[in-house]
Amino acid sequence: MHCCVGLVTRRVLWWMRFVWMVMEANWWCLLVVLLGGVCVVSGQGTGQSCSRLDGTRGICVDLQECLSQGGSIEGATHVQLCSNRDFDRAIVCCRSSPATIARNMCAKWHQNRRQSGGGCSVTVPLVRGGQEARVGEFPHMVSLLQDTPRRGYRHVCGGSLIAPDWVLTAAHCIQNSRLWVRLGAHDLREEERGISLPVEVLNSIIHPNYKDQRRYNDIALLHLRHKAPITPRIQPACLPHSGRRVEGGVQMIVAGWGKTGLADPISDVLQKAKVRSISRLECALHKQLGLLGSTSISYPGGITDSIICLDEQVTGSCQGDSGGPLMLGRNGECAVEVVGLVSRGVSECSGTKVPGIYTRVEYFLDWIVDTIWKNEL
């Protein structure tokens, strides 16, 4: 008897939920559920802030308006709907596209730069085969450090400050050891004079699809324990948002404290070099691509869209540059976009026909934005 009562109760509750979904979500939520998806109807109405299933924030707007303005919903099978009694339309929890959020944050960094007294210092037409950067030329540059018992802080990789408390770098740079970053550095010896000081990394977030022996998805985010002070020498960089896609033949800049030659030590002073991209096809067909670094690291799927290849016959990256930014100048602005990360360079650190491999940041923009700017609408 109790079993039958329980069954009837569950059916009644199911039908009550069914009717409520129809009344509140105008069949949209029901359709998602029938297709095997997940749908949640919030109590917020049009124009109000809402929370999405992935933990990000959005605004309740009409579905057509959201999509026409370049906004995004979570997906066809995971939908956050807002309260609505108008049967002919769906009100969704809409969030701006990752490119729009990146563009808005870039504008914010420009405003901060003007307020802090930072000037226009990037010289795009100008590492290995490069030249010394000017003080403050790349205020987003970060030196990733390991705290060693005998040698103290040791530079291991480069990185880019992309928010006051977030750094973008390569996943293969992240080891199990305790990590720090040095902000606003030009000469790594400046710590001795108190000009640039290390900041502890609170949390390292490696891309979930990264595997060390296969360098796809070679990207990571470092959450700093403290927000960086915005000064002329410490400024976040812009992420790709202009729609300019890096294909073959694009002139860019790479910077870092890596070796300038195989027999040379890590450079104390930040270096920069002008580099040129090559097409995916040219890179994939390159006979010497397999000569890159260790044979235990491979690209079994070939050169995918997540990779940028560079011609490094004259200039390029070397040991110690890993994780550092590949930068594209922005027309009419004294700033750069970080379009790539040094993933894998040549081992001989001199003129070579072997392409340099870089992680394409644009490919991972959704992951970056949803990780560090969950509350940006």
User: Is 322 part of the annotated catalytic residue set?
Assistant: yes
Residue 259 near residue 128 (C-beta atoms within 8 A): yes
Strands 198-206 and 325-329: unpaired
Annotated catalytic residue, options 155, 172, 207, 241: 172
Specify the DSSP element, H or E, that contains 208. none
- Cβ neighbours of residue 316 under 8 Å, at least 6 residues apart? 127, 128, 129, 254, 273, 275, 310, 345, 346, 356
User: Is 51 part of the annotated catalytic residue set?
Assistant: no
Q: Which amino acid, residue 276?
A: R
Phi and psi torsions of 199, nearest 5° = -120, 135
Closest of 156, 256, 266, 254 to residue 201, by C-alpha = 156
Number of H-type helices and E-type strands within the chain: 6, 18
User: Is 172 part of the annotated catalytic residue set?
Assistant: yes
Dist CA 223 CA 227 (whole Å): 9
Dist CA 282 CA 174 (whole Å): 30
Annotated catalytic residue, options 160, 196, 218, 241: 218
Closest of 87, 104, 110 to residue 29, by C-alpha = 87
Ramachandran assignment for 358, one of left (phi > 0), alpha (psi -120 to 50 degrees), beta (any other): beta
- Cβ neighbours of residue 128 under 8 Å, at least 6 residues apart? 258, 259, 260, 261, 271, 273, 312, 315, 316, 317, 318, 349, 350
CB atoms within 10 A of CB 38: 14
Count CA atoms within 13 Å of residue 349 on its CB side: 17
Catalytic positions: 172, 218, 322
